[in-house]
Amino acid sequence: TWAQFEQKPPTVSYYVPFIGSMIEFGINPIKFIRKNQKIHGNFFTFLMFGRRMTVCVDIDGNDFVFNAKHSCVTAEDAYNSLTKPVFGEGVVYDVPNSVLMEQKRMVKAGLSIENFRAYIPIFIQEVNQYIDKHWTESEGTVDLLQSISEMIIMTASHTLLGPEIRSKLHEGVADLYHTLDSCFTPIHFLFEWLPLPSYYSSGKAHDELDRIFGTVIAERRKHTGEKHIDMLDALMESRYKNGEPLSDKHVGNMLIALLMAGQHTSAATTTWALLNLAANPDVVNEARAENEAKFGHKLGAKSFPEPSYEDVKDFVVLDNVVRETLRIRSPLIELMRKVVKPVAIPNTNYVIPAGNYIIASPIISSTDEKYYKAAEDWVPSRWNTAEKEDSMDKATTDYGFGATTTSARSPTLPFGAGRHRCIGEQFAYVQIKTILYVLLNRFDFSLDPKRGMPERNYQSMVVLPEGPVLCRYKRRAD
Ligand code: HEM
């Protein structure tokens, strides 16, 4: 029978029972995966604290994980223990997949082009406000990750949660986010059964945020005539197919989930982009020249116009900068699913048993020399050439909420693919490009001569530059 040909993917050998390859994987997952890809091919299993993790890489691996049948492979079984204490109940991975699909459609309403038009001036206002308060010298050194993280919190909170909650940020709301955030570490994935103290504080922080959101929502419901263009309004108005609205509590929980999804991912991307710009003044000059040509005059620290949505979309150099940064510094490098029914890997004789986890790591293909010349180098202009047309399959994996750029068979998938694909991509591009536009008009940047370009830190769920991320800024002429 066919069954006798069925095999499990090869297992990475290890010395310490139970713990398995956990230490080597934890220190540098990319190095670990590349090494074992050479030995075992694109599919292999390693042991981590008694869990069997099957890594699936290259284009076939990405496609297998992102497009696996939901009856065999689920994200909710892999992620819910990690996300439920943070997001709360009734949203994202705490509901059947069909409900998540509807919730993603609801979120899309707050990410319309009409909304982006309203968000751009808010992004600019928030960045200017932050700079005027914190980067006050004519030149200086800052912790760039810290500064950018704050700009991302301010811009995201203002446009997603609305001006009321944004104005409460300094009244402790920001601390509540940080508390929730502290739950988002690999340790909570590995030890979901441990009563870690952070679960207790995250529960309290969550309840407190729920209360604040509840008050704001109730206030808005009293003044139904006032229209706000933000995610809060979009979610308050949204309905399931059966006509039921999203409850106020679930509106709040969705907002927390969205903030968490977009915070470190966008902060890391913006920071890496600026660090690379600081190291490549020629690219900065190209970006400025493009903008000056577009607006027809010289731009300086004060004399830069507010771009329209179309302008931001057309910032080609900055677009390439973000795309290239995401290719080599994808913030999410391990995307996980749990196998709930044995599943065969197409075009192999491997079958993965129920109970295993599978991991996609699209950064492995997006930094593979097979697909990109000088694959580890940051070269934004590579996206100007045919390479983009060849490598980026324009066909979409669209599950009804308008995925835009990539199918699961593109080598570069920083936003994933398939039913769990990111819906924040366009928001992130508009937000990051607008922030870069303001910063490049107001300052010249250079790397701190002692620190240079930081290494990657793999200890958190989102890969961040190793701190302190020192960067020098120098105010430009008006
Ligand atoms: C899903 C990356 C920004 C909301 C994802 C996934 C990736 C990703 C790789 C797929 C996860 C998986 O398959 O397991 C990024 C990157 C970002 C970013 C690199 C910034 C540069 C945002 C923002 C938002 C957001 C700003 C919200 C406004 C979501 C949501 C999902 C998602 C709702 C769907 C989760 C699911 O269906 O399971 N993101 N994201 N993301 N992201 Fe993003």
* 47 CA to centre of own chain: 27
Q: Which two tokens stand for residue 289?
A: 């020249």
Residue type at 316 in one-letter notation:
V
Cβ 116 vs Cβ 426: under 8 Å: yes
- The helix or strand, by DSSP H or E, that contains position 439, with its residue range, turns out to be helix 425-442
For residue 254 and ligand 1, the question of a CB distance below 6 A is answered with no
Q: How far apart are CA 373 and CA 226, in angstroms?
A: 53
C-alpha–C-alpha distance, residues 224 and 207, integer Å? 26
Cβ–ligand 1 distance for 362 under 6 Å, the answer: no
CB of 116 closer than 6 angstroms to any ligand 1 atom: no
The verdict on the CB of residue 454 being under 6 Å from ligand 1 is no
User: What b/e sequence results for 438-463 when a residue is b if at least 16 CB atoms lie within 10 Å of its CB, and e otherwise?
Assistant: bbbbbbebebbeebeebeeebeebbb
Q: Which residue pairs from 364-367 have beta carbons closer than 8 angstroms and sit at least 24 positions apart in sequence?
A: 364/30, 364/33, 364/34, 364/37, 364/57, 364/58, 364/61, 365/57, 365/58, 365/59, 365/62, 365/411, 365/412, 365/413, 366/327, 366/328, 366/330, 366/411, 366/412, 366/413, 366/414, 367/327, 367/328
- Terminal-to-terminal C-alpha distance of the chain: 77
Asked if 157 and 169 count as a contact pair (C-beta separation under 8 A), the reply is yes
Q: What is the pTM of this model?
A: 0.94
Q: How far is the CA of 349 from the centre of ligand 1 (A)?
A: 32
Give the strand pairing for 73-74 and 335-339. Answer: antiparallel
- How many Å apart are CA 72 and CA 225, to the nearest integer? 47
Q: Which two tokens stand for residue 374?
A: 């000088």
Of the residues 415, 432, 464, which should be mutated to test ligand 1's pocket, given the most ligand atoms within 8 Å of the CB? 415
Mutation to probe ligand 1, out of 152, 159, 422, 429 (largest number of atoms < 8 A from CB) = 422
Q: How many CB atoms lie under 10 A from the CB of residue 211?
A: 10
The answer, yes or no, to whether ipTM is higher than 0.85 is yes
pLDDT by residue for the chain (478 residues), tens only, comes to 455 678 999 999 987 887 888 888 988 999 999 999 999 999 999 998 889 999 999 999 999 999 999 999 999 999 998 888 889 999 999 999 999 999 999 999 999 999 999 999 999 999 999 999 999 999 999 999 999 999 999 999 999 999 999 988 877 787 888 888 877 776 666 666 666 666 667 788 888 888 889 999 999 999 888 889 999 999 999 999 999 999 999 999 999 999 999 999 999 999 999 999 999 999 999 999 999 999 999 998 988 999 999 999 999 999 999 999 999 999 999 999 999 999 999 999 999 999 999 999 999 999 999 999 999 999 999 999 845 544 333 333 333 333 344 567 889 999 999 999 999 999 999 999 999 999 999 999 999 999 999 999 998 889 999 999 999 999 999 8
Question: Using a 6 Å cutoff on CB, does residue 75 contact ligand 1?
Answer: yes
- pLDDT for residue 204: 84
Phi first, then psi: what are they for 457, rounded to 5°? Answer: -110, 120
DSSP 161: I
Ligand 1 midpoint to CA 258 (Å): 8
Minimum CA distance residue for ligand 1 atom 9: 415
Closest-CA residue, ligand 1 atom 38, reads 420
Nearest Cα residue to atom 5 of ligand 1: 422
Position in ligand 1 atom list of the atom nearest CA 420: 37
CA separation for the pair 365, 42 (Å, rounded): 11
> Ligand 1 centroid to 100 CA: how many Å?
13
